[in-house]
Amino acid sequence: MMSQFLQVLLSGLATGSIYALVAIGFALVWQAAQTINFAQGEFVMLPAFLVLVGLNYFDLPLWGALLFGLAMSILILGAAFKKLVVEPILPHGGITLVIATIALGILIRESVKEFYSAEGQPFPSIFPSDPINIFGAVVSLQDILNLVLSLGIVVLLTLFLNRTRTGRCMQATAQNPAVAEILGVDVKRMVLYTFLINAALAALASFLITPVYLAKFSNGETLGLIAFIAAIIGGFNQIRGALVGGLLIGVLDNLVATYVTAEYRAALPLILLILIILVRPQGILGTPEGRAV
Amino acid sequence: MYSKFALALGTALLTLLGAAQAQEAVEIGVVVELSGAGAPAGTNWRDGIRIAVDEINAEGGILGKPVKVTEYDTQTDPQISRALVQKAIDGSAYAIWGTIYSGSTLVNMLVAQQNSVPQFVGSEAPTIVEKGNPFVFRTSSGAQKGVPALVPYFKDTLKAKKVGVAWVNNEFGRGGRNVFIAEMKKAGIEVLADVPSEQAQTDYASDVSKLKQSGADAVFVYMNQEESARFLIEAKKQGLSMPLVGEVTLTEAKVIELAGPAAEGAIAHVGITATADQVEGIAAFREKFVKTFKRVPTHDAIKGYIGAWTTKYVTELVGKFDGEAFSEKMHGLCLPATKYPRILLDTCWDNRGEMSRPSFMVQVRNGSPVVIGTVPAN
């Protein structure tokens, strides 16, 4: 029984930490552009297919294909997204940009379906998929390594944002771009960095989750929704909030499916969302944002 | 003079008209899952049909008329499939080939029935042939025939006393699960864990952990292709050690491709498999399919192929394009493979459209399904 609990908890934490990477992306884009990127799920789906292109069309080894996928993701989902979608549309208002990201999501999804078919594709695992024995409990090594890597990335990102000059400039830009510019911060460059980091996080989440979910054009629909809810639950304006939201959904989903009911597991994130909006609208770790008119 | 000329002209016109009529194509609607969760199955079904249609047309078509196929994508949505069957029939389809997902077939087969149009389906839910629809015909046995064939394997080969069942909560999965549980009860085997999952589910951690904890001697896995692959991947991650036995999909080429090493050792009862290359017709079909599509056909490809060829054989037995006469002829019909080679194996249909033919037990070994036994027709 203890072994089952450990495995379920571990699987929940591992999946939740991957949700957290995607949710952090939501928070970063919100802070940089005051908009919600509804193509975020597709930003996680696409890098896996870029890796498959590296493997199958350029005959790269796995590590080479992963680097290719990461670089292409940063280029397409970071730089090109900012230059071709965000910059031209943002002056027309946040809502216009939100609609543009919805359209972008559909475009990415349908393009992948057209190019790579509607069928799921196998995706190689970065980590060994054999289980290991810890104090008598047989648990998944892949889950442990996924969790360690995801949390490691979050810690590094937090250190980068809080302990480096560039990170603090990015935070200043997010809080008040006008004042940051007066103080000599290269605001445009900081915003670009935010988009590049979001693309890299999405790519890493993609590399970790696709070996289990399989590479499929529709993967972004569920992932995007869960990560969006995780970001709201944790607090949309806080990176650590997105982390807490992701882990919470991952763990609760697995525990409820194992010990309560599997039939209503899809409803769980939505129930959590309603509860949080009713009880603490700014999210578990979020801070209230005042808006003046 | 004029009358002779008019007679010659009339004769020539009639001959031309006759020739044109003989060349008028027979329309067939392929209504199948080409996107959505059912795409792996639907794409194979369609490609098996493409091979069959090329062969049929090369052999003079059906009753001298070439076969013209129109493909419709249901997007694995039952309501869309219903509208598309209607659209195909409005386009003068003589027969419908598809769908595969039982949830779709149950909805769309009423349209074909109302229009007296014969329909060959890849669906395996028991309920398909229990609705009294005389125009629906299977291309593989339903779960109520396929799943019982597994009982001797659980009882005598695995000597299982307690089992678990992991199934996808759709029409297909529910049908197979119900038959399996009833058969286990009859065989005196206890079902310890009954674990449903949703169609297109991605995370199987809790499902596998429940089965692992149950203490079952073996697990019956009854899911669609991608779900089966994700289940096998999670089972390997968590070190699920008991034998995993399925019906048809668990050892399919697509599942093995998706699950990779996680599929190793999986066992399934399959109505028909491209790996049964000791059967001459299956080996020839496999070779042609691999050459054309650069991949190994799944059982859905063979089912589509058989549905197309059965349409030709039976229409020619009837001697005319008549849905009602076709339906009447199909009930209780047996087509021996010696006389009708493209049927691949001796096949019979009962008076409900259910089919019966010899089947196989296969196991995944070194990344390929290998036939480990044959099961006689039941």
Q: Point out the residues of chain B with pLDDT beneath 50.
A: 1, 14-22
Contacts of B264 in chain A (CB under 8 A): none
At A182, which amino acid appears? I
Q: Which of A118, A131, A254 faces B239 most closely, judged by CB atoms?
A: A131
Q: CB distance A253–B230 less than 8 Å?
A: no
Q: Which of A130, A142, A222 faces B202 most closely, judged by CB atoms?
A: A222
Structure confidence at residue A2 (pLDDT): 75
| pTM listed for this prediction | 0.79
CB contact at 8 A, A97 and A33? yes
Structure confidence at residue A141 (pLDDT): 87
Q: Which of B198, B212, B239 faces A266 most closely, judged by CB atoms?
A: B198
Question: Is the CB of A268 inside 8 Å of chain B's CB atoms?
Answer: no
Q: Point out the residues of chain A with pLDDT beneath 50.
A: 291-293
Tokens 């027979």 found at: B26
Structure confidence at residue A292 (pLDDT): 39
Sequential DSSP letters for A266-279: GGHHHHHHHHHHHH
Question: Is the CB of A2 inside 8 Å of chain B's CB atoms?
Answer: no
CB contact at 8 A, A78 and A199? yes
Interface residue of A119, A125, A126, A221 to substitute, partner B, most B CBs within 10 Å: A119
At A44, which amino acid appears? V
Nearest CA in chain A to B239: A131
Give the domain ranges of chain A: 2-279
Structure confidence at residue A32 (pLDDT): 80
Domains of chain B, each with CATH number or no CATH: 21-140+278-356 (3.40.50.2300), 145-270 (3.40.50.2300)
Question: Is the CB of A222 inside 8 Å of chain B's CB atoms?
Answer: yes
Q: CB distance B209–A119 less than 8 Å?
A: no
Model confidence pLDDT, tens digit, residues B182-239: 999 999 999 999 999 988 888 899 999 999 999 999 999 999 889 999 999 999 988 8
Q: Which of A122, A130, A218 faces B257 most closely, judged by CB atoms?
A: A122
> Residue A143 and residue A137: Cα distance in Å, rounded?
14
Structure confidence at residue A289 (pLDDT): 65
SS (H, E, C) chain B: CHHHHHHHHHHHHHHHHHHHHHHCCEEEEEEECCCCCCHHHHHHHHHHHHHHHHHHHHCCCECCECEEEEEEECCCCHHHHHHHHHHHHHCCCCEEECCCCHHHHHHHHHHHHHCCCCEEECCCCHHHHHCCCCCEEECCCCHHHHHHHHHHHHHHHCCCCEEEEEEECCHHHHHHHHHHHHHHHHHCCEEEEEEEECCCCCCCHHHHHHHHHHCCCEEEEECCHHHHHHHHHHHHHCCCCCCEEEECHHHCHHHHHHHHHHHCCCEEEECCCCCCCCCHHHHHHHHHHHHHHCCCCCHHHHHHHHHHHHHHHHHHHHCCCCHHHHHHHHCCCEECCCCCHHHCCCEEECCCCCEECCEEEEEEECCEEEEEEEECCC
CB contact at 8 A, B266 and B244? yes
> What residues form DSSP beta bridges with A21?
none
**The CATH number, out of the four listed (1.10.3470, 3.40.30, 3.40.630, 2.40.50), of the domain defined by the range A2-279:** 1.10.3470
Tokens 């199987």 found at: B204
Give all strands of the β-sheet with B218-222 in edge-to-edge order.
B190-197, B162-168, B218-222, B244-247, B267-270, B359-365, B368-375
At B241, which amino acid appears? S
Tokens 């669906």 found at: B123
Q: CB distance B237–A113 less than 8 Å?
A: no
Contacts of A263 in chain B (CB under 8 A): 169, 196
Q: Which helix (H) or strand (E) holds A167?
A: helix A165-175
